[in-house]
Chain A
Amino acid sequence: MSNKPNSMDCGAPLGRLSRRRFLAATAGVSAFVGAGAALPFGARASTGLVALVHTQAAGDSGPIDSMMGRLNQLAEAEGLETRAIYAQDPATYETVLRTLGDAGASIVLGTFPVISEAFKAAAPAYPDTKWIQLFGDPVDPPIANLVTVSYDYYLGCYLSGIFAAHVSQSQQIGYIGGISIPPLNADYNALTAGVHAVNPDATVTAAFAGSFQDPAKGYEIASQMFLDGIDYIQTDSAATDGGIIQAANERDGAMVSALDPAQYALGPASVIGVVSLDFGQSLHNEASAALGADWQGGRHVPTGLGSGVIDFLLSPVYQEQGPEDIVARSQDAWPHVEAARAGILDGSVAVPFNTEL
C-alpha cells in the first residue's frame, strides 16, 4: 500500500490508543450491547417466544420457506412473538439453543438431523422450554421436554419410483440429491426399489450436487443426465432444484419430480409431480400442540404417508400444460401409485429403509 500520509489516514489519532485499551474498550462495549440486547429479548420471551432454528438457508422454495411461512401464519393467528434464526455453523448450534433457553423462549423448534446433538445437550438444562426437533431420530432415553419428529420421506420416493417406471419411455431414471447423507441415501434406495418393483431392468442413476444451494451445478448434472437418455429425475436438493428444473425445461419430454408444490410454476411442462414433505404443515401441527396445556414431551412422532405431511402428488399445472402423450401416461400410471400407497398404509407393501449407497 501507499506509504504516503493523507488526510483520511486514521493511524495518527489511533496511534495514541494502546492495543490493550482498545481490546478492553471493545469488550466493555460488547458486554453493554449484549446486556442491552438480552433485556428486551427476555421481556418479549415472557409473552411466549416461539423460535425456529434452521440449519439450511431460507430461499429454497421448499422446507425452510414453508416452515417460515407457517410460523408467520401461526404468529398472526395466535398473537405470538416468533423468531426464525439461521444457524449456519454447527459449532454454534448449542450456543444458539442455550441463548434461546436463557431468554426464556417457550417453544424452540429446530431442523434438521444435524442439530440433534445440540438439542439433546440443551433441552435438559431448560425444563420450562418445550423443545421440538423436526426431522430427528428418537432420543434414548427420552428427555421430558423434548419431542422429535421424523419423516418417512423415502416412502414418497418409493411412490415416485413406481410412477417413474410407468411414465418413463427410456426406462432410465435419475436422482439428484444435495449431499450424500443417510436420509437422502434412503430416498434414492427407495426410489430405486419403486422403479424395480415395476421394471427390474430399468436403471436408476444417482448424483449429488455437493450443495443444497447451487442451481448451476444442478443444471449441469441434469443436463448430462438428460444427454445420457434419462427422462425422469427425482430431485432432493432444495434450492439446487431450480437448475435441474431449468435444464428439464430446455428438453422436450424431460420430466422432473420435485419437492414442493411451489415448484410447479418453475416447470409447467417439466415438473410432473412432487414428493411433497410439507414441513410447514408439520411445524404448524407440532407448534400448535405445544401451545396447548396438555402437551407431552419425551416422545417421538413418526410421520409417514396418510399424515397429510408426506405424499407423492401429481402437478395439476403439468396436467394442463404438459405434453399430451406423457399426461395420458401419467393418468394411466396413477392407479398403480394409489395401489402402492394403499399397500404401504395397510402393511402389504414393505419399503426398505436403506441408508447405504
Chain B
Amino acid sequence: MTEFHEFMVAILRSGTPLVYVTMAGVIAQRAGVWHLGLEGVMIIGACATILGIVLTGSFPAAIAIACVLCVAASVLLWFVIEKLGANPIIAGLGLTGLGIGGTALAVQALFGSLAAVTAPFGVPRLGEAFGSYGALSIFVLMMPFVVWGMWVLLRRTRFGLRLAAAGEHPLAARSVGTDPGRTRLIALASGGVLCAIGGAELAAGGLTIFAQNMTAGRGFMSFAAVIFGAGHPIAAAFAAMFFSLVGVAGIRLQLLFGASIPHDVLLSLPYLATILGVWISGRMRGGAKAATEASELRDY
C-alpha cells in the first residue's frame, strides 16, 4: 500500500506543474490562441520563484514576482499577436526562446555565473497531517479546485461564453459588444498566472532549484495535453496527468527492466504517449479536430 501511495505522490508531484500550465493553454486556446509560448512562460515562473525566494526570503513575495513577470510575458505575446499582427505560433515559439534565454541572462546578471540556483526553501508543504502525501506542496492540493474552477469559468459563466465566441468567431463576438482583443488579453494574462504557479511548482514544489532550461519540454507537453483534451479543462488536466503517469512509469520500468530493455526506449515513453494521445484524440468525436477548428487561424 505504501508503494501505491508513493507512486501516486510521484505522479502528482510531476503532473501538477503540467496541469497548471495546461490550464493556461486551455484558456488561451478557448480565446483562439494556440499558445506555443507555454514553455517560455513556465520557465520564467520557475526562475522568478527561485530567484525571488533567494532575493526576498519570502515565498509570497517570490510567487508575486513570478506572477507579475509571467503576466508581463503573456501581455507581450498578446501585443505581438494582436497589435503587431504576428503569427501566434511563431510568436509563441519566440516567447519560448525569450524565456529560456532571458532566464539564463537573469541568473548571469544577478549572480555573475550561470550555475544552478538553490533556494533555502520552496513552496509550503502539506505537512504530516496528510500522511504519505504530506511531502507534496500546497499547489498540488489547489490543483483540482483550479481545474474545476476553470471548467466553471469556461462552461458556466458569461465570461466563458464571450471567451469562446472571441476564439471561435471574433466577428460574432464583436457584433454583441464583446471586444475579442481585450478578451484574449484577459485570457493570456490569466494564463500567465497559471504558468507562474506551474513553474513555481516545478522548481520549488519538490525541489528548490532553478537550472537553465529545466522545463525540458514540459510546456510543449502541456500544449499537447490541451490538444489531447480537445481544449476541455477537465479532459486536458487528465491528459496532463496521464503524461505524468507514463513518465513516472517510465522511470519505474527503467529500474525494473533497464537491464533487458534499452533505456532510450523507456525514456521515450512519455513522448510516444503524447503522440499516441494526440493521434487518438484527433480521431474521436469532439476531439482534437474539433479543438483545431476553433482556432483563430481560420479567421485569416
CA distance A246 to B207 in the complex (A): 7
Question: Which residues of B have CB within 8 Å of A243?
Answer: 207, 209
Is the beta-carbon distance between B180 and A58 smaller than 8 angstroms?
no
CA distance A215 to B115 in the complex (A): 13
Contact with A along B244-269 (1 / 0, CB 8 A): 00011001101100110011100100
* Chain B, interface residues (CB within 8 Å), range: 35 or more
Please judge, given known A-B contacts A59-B114, A220-B10, A220-B14, whether A228 and B206 are in contact too, CB under 8 Å: no
Does B109 sit within 8 A of A, measured CB to CB?
no
Question: Which residues of A have CB within 8 Å of B262?
Answer: 180, 357
Contact with B along A202-221 (1 / 0, CB 8 A): 00011110110111110111
Question: Which residues of B have CB within 8 Å of A262?
Answer: 115
Please judge, given known A-B contacts A224-B255, A246-B207, whether A214 and B216 are in contact too, CB under 8 Å: yes
Is the beta-carbon distance between B116 and A6 smaller than 8 angstroms?
no
Question: Which residues of A have CB within 8 Å of B6?
Answer: 223-224, 227
Question: Which residues of B have CB within 8 Å of A77?
Answer: none
Min CB distance A184 to B, Å, is 10
Question: Which residues of B have CB within 8 Å of A223?
Answer: 6, 10
Min CB distance A68 to B, Å, is 8
* Chain A, interface residues (CB within 8 Å), range: 35 or more
Interface residues of B in 94-131 (CB under 8 A from A): 104, 107, 113-116, 118
CA distance A2 to B17 in the complex (A): 32
CA distance A262 to B212 in the complex (A): 17
Question: Which residues of B have CB within 8 Å of A225?
Answer: 255
Interface residues of B in 1-56 (CB under 8 A from A): 3, 6, 10, 13-14, 17, 32
Does B161 sit within 8 A of A, measured CB to CB?
no
Please judge, given known A-B contacts A207-B255, A227-B3, A227-B6, whether A1 and B82 are in contact too, CB under 8 Å: yes
Please judge, given known A-B contacts A213-B214, A224-B10, whether A239 and B258 are in contact too, CB under 8 Å: no
Does A60 sit within 8 A of B, measured CB to CB?
yes
Chain B residues proximal to chain A, CB less than 8 Å = 3, 6, 10, 13-14, 17, 32, 81-85, 88, 104, 107, 113-116, 118, 135, 170-171, 174, 180-181, 202, 206-209, 211-214, 216, 247-248, 251-252, 254-255, 258-259, 262-264, 267, 296, 299-300
